[in-house]
Amino acid sequence: MEELTKEEVLHVAHLARINVSDEDVEKYKIQLRQILNEMEKINEVDVEGDILISPSNNSNEYREDIGLDEEVDILSNAPKKNGNYIEIKRFVND
Amino acid sequence: MTKYLDLSIKEINNKLKNKEIKPIDLVLECFERIENCKEYNTFITLNKEEAINIAKELENIEVDNILFGIPIAIKDNIVTKDLKTTCGSKILSNFVPVYDSTVVEKLKEKHMIIVGKLNMDEFAMGSSNETSYYGPVLNSHDKTRVSGGSSGGSAVSVALNIVPFSLGSDTGGSIRQPSAFNGVVGLKPTYGRVSRYGLVAFGSSLDQIGPISRNVYENALLLNAIAGKDEKDLTSSVTNEDFTRFIGEDIKGMKIAVPKFYMSDVINSEIRNRINEVINFLTKKGVTIDYVDVKNIEYSVPLYQIIALAEASSNLARFDGVRYGYLTDKEYKNVDDMYKFTRQEGFGDEVKRRLMIGSYVLSGKNAKTYYYKALRIRKSISDSFESLFKKYDLIIGPTTTDYAYKLGEGQNDAVKSFTDDLLTIPVNMAGLPGMSIPVGINDNKTIGLQIIGNKFEEAKMYKLASFIENNFGGESC
């Protein structure tokens, strides 16, 4: 079984915005390959026609643009806040 | 110790109506059972104080429905106002929702009493409950075995009769597989039957909330309470029916299909034998059984890996350490590092693997190679089921390929958590209702029979399920 390369692992980890340690990279090289091997079985299937994104047959519905819920404190779960603002560290573009 | 919770819901309801017992008696008994069964690790958060207060308030209200005053526990990915909801994850270990999910609102309208939040695989990703940040749930029949998952706490709490009811969620088998592993009745309703508002999203086109109960009739009672159209979930559908209405009717003349794939050599032979006994029994009772093919059903695992994980990678992008949830303590210099450290520390292994795969299948050219191809195969499976239901009332087979396995057994296999759901995934792909009912116990290992119905035909499933339950439920092989 051909393992993923370190670069490939780091690429998918970046896409998913997950930092990985060197130790993790070694683990994921094998584990991600195992999953990809399983997924690639769909290459055996010859299929044409429509796609199915959702099993629901409902069509879109519009409603009045009004609040439905009572007023709630949507900031209550923010890890850091300052008054009515969520606080994060200041970033300066490189 | 009182034993009111061992009674049927009908009997409890009568005692409440006659004022022989009060809701507080049920609640206190329930918390006593929770304490006695602590080692099974079924609960993440208890709601004791609130439950006791509500029980006392109910003493001033007339018993107006069959679920009045009955304790229920909720899977921890269904949000509950002011009650911690962790999704079995470190990243939400301090998350206290500011609103109730629609299903929880409906339970409260029926005056059911929520006693706590149930353990589960992290973000419902897993099939053994071993991916929970809060530790695994132990199997109700054998503590050395897995509970199944991801709704492990939901199945075990009912199997141990800690609560008569729980809610679970099912994206690829997460209600049915643990139900089979613990000998309880679990239903994944038709996609759209139950509102998903307030269910923390995993695979939005596959997820459904559903009831777990001790028997078939009571399962239908709980579905009555949670089903229906919700303006907060556009995929939900109008429901005006009593799901118990066909229970007890004769099953003679029913036409049932068994997919050949569900009875292949991959399935444990003891389980296959048991399902065959049920099939023979049904044939004697005047049911027509045919063995059929479902096109491309053998690809359900890769299909799930592609579709569910693509949707998950999009849904779980919201965990950024900013608006809610865990934020890294590490120093970071840019916004990407803030996300990356937060997610590295906040998510467990299974979730991280799945999010990486999901991001991969949606990136660049892969979207065409994997994602769109998978959606085409999904359509062909769905079409194949649709044509079968023109000829047959229901489809049956085993719920799982094997018995509940030993804790730790699947840990070095990145694919096992997917292949466990081989027989349950097709149902989610097509949006059909599926349920697992107990049909036997072998050496403390339970066997589940799966019933699959046409869209919005749960009532018909309950009719067959009840008939089988009366003849096979709980019986030793």
What are the tokens at B327?
A: 């934020």
Which percentage of chain B shows pLDDT scores above 70? Answer: 99
**Known active-site residue B384:** no
- Mean pLDDT value across residues B268-296: 97
pLDDT at residue B415 in the model: 87
Which chain A residue has the Cα nearest residue B339?
A17
pLDDT value of residue A70: 73
- pLDDT band for position B268 (cuts 50, 70, 90): very high
Chain B residues in contact with A36 (beta carbon < 8 A): 357, 360
- Could you confirm whether B314 is annotated as catalytic? no
Q: For domain B4-226, give its CATH number from 3.90.1300.10, 3.30.300.30, 3.40.50.150, 3.40.50.1000.
A: 3.90.1300.10
- Rounded CA-CA distance B148/B401 in Å is 13
Task: Give the per-residue pLDDT at B27.
Answer: 98
For the residues B355-376, what does the mean pLDDT come to? 94
Q: Answer for the pair B88, B281: CB distance below 8 angstroms, yes or no.
A: no
Which of B99, B334, B347 lies nearest to residue A91, judging by beta carbons?
B334
Instruction: Confirm if B381 and B294 have CB atoms less than 8 A apart.
Output: yes
| Residue B81 confidence class, pLDDT cut points 50, 70, 90 | very high
What is B439-474 written as a DSSP string? EEEETTEEEEEEEEE-TT-HHHHHHHHHHHHHHHTT
**Dihedral of alpha carbons A15, A16, A19, A22, sign:** negative
Nearest to A86 among B205, B323, B333 (CB): B323
Tens of pLDDT, residues B389-433: 999 999 999 999 999 999 999 877 888 888 899 999 999 999 999
pLDDT of residue B411: 79
For A73, which residue in chain B has the nearest alpha carbon? B98
Please list the ranges in chain A whose pLDDT falls under 70. 1, 69, 93-94
Using alpha carbons, select from B202, B198, B178 the residue that is nearest to residue B188: B178
Phi/psi at B46 (5° precision): -100, 155
Residue type, A50: D
Asked whether the beta carbons of residue A51 and residue B313 sit closer than 8 angstroms, the reply is no
User: What confidence tens digit (pLDDT) does each residue in B220-253 have?
Assistant: 999 999 999 999 999 999 999 999 999 999 999 9
Among 3.40.50.2300, 1.10.10.10, 1.10.3720.10, 1.10.20.60, what is the CATH number of A1-42? Answer: 1.10.20.60
More confident residue, B157 or A73: B157
- Got the DSSP string for B389-422? HHH-SEEEEES-SSPPPBTTTTTT-TTHHHHTTT
- Mean pLDDT (chain B) is 96
Q: Which chain B positions have a beta carbon within 8 Å of A54's beta carbon?
A: 191, 204-205, 235, 431
Residue A45, CA distances (Å) to A29, A50, B133, B302 in order: 26, 15, 38, 12
B336 chain-A contacts, CB cut-off 8 A = 17
Exactly one of B151, B166, B174, B213 is catalytic; name it: B174
3-state DSSP assignment of residue B85: coil
**Set of chain B residues whose Cβ sits within 8 Å of the Cβ of A47:** 296, 373, 376-377, 380
B174 has catalytic annotation = yes
Q: For residue B369, what is the DSSP state?
A: I
B71-75: strand order across its sheet: B43-46, B113-118, B71-75, B165-170, B208-213, B185-188, B434-442, B445-453, B394-398, B255-259, B288-292
DSSP A48: -
B379 touches chain A (CB under 8 A): yes
- Position B178 scores a pLDDT of 98
Q: Is B338 on the interface with A (CB under 8 A)?
A: yes
Cα dihedral sign for B247, B253, B257, B258?
A: positive
Can you tell me the distance from the alpha carbon of B254 to that of B239, in angstroms, rounded to the nearest whole number?
A: 24
Count CB neighbours of B172 within 10 A. Answer: 33
Are A54 and B327 inside 8 Å of each other by CB? no
* Contact: A16, B355; criterion CB under 8 Å: yes
* B341-350 mean pLDDT: 97
Domain-by-domain residue ranges, chain B?
4-226
**8 A C-beta contact, residue B291 and residue B263:** yes
pLDDT digits (tens, 9 = 90+) for B106-150: 999 999 999 999 999 999 999 999 999 999 999 999 999 999 999
Tokens linked to B422 = 């081989």
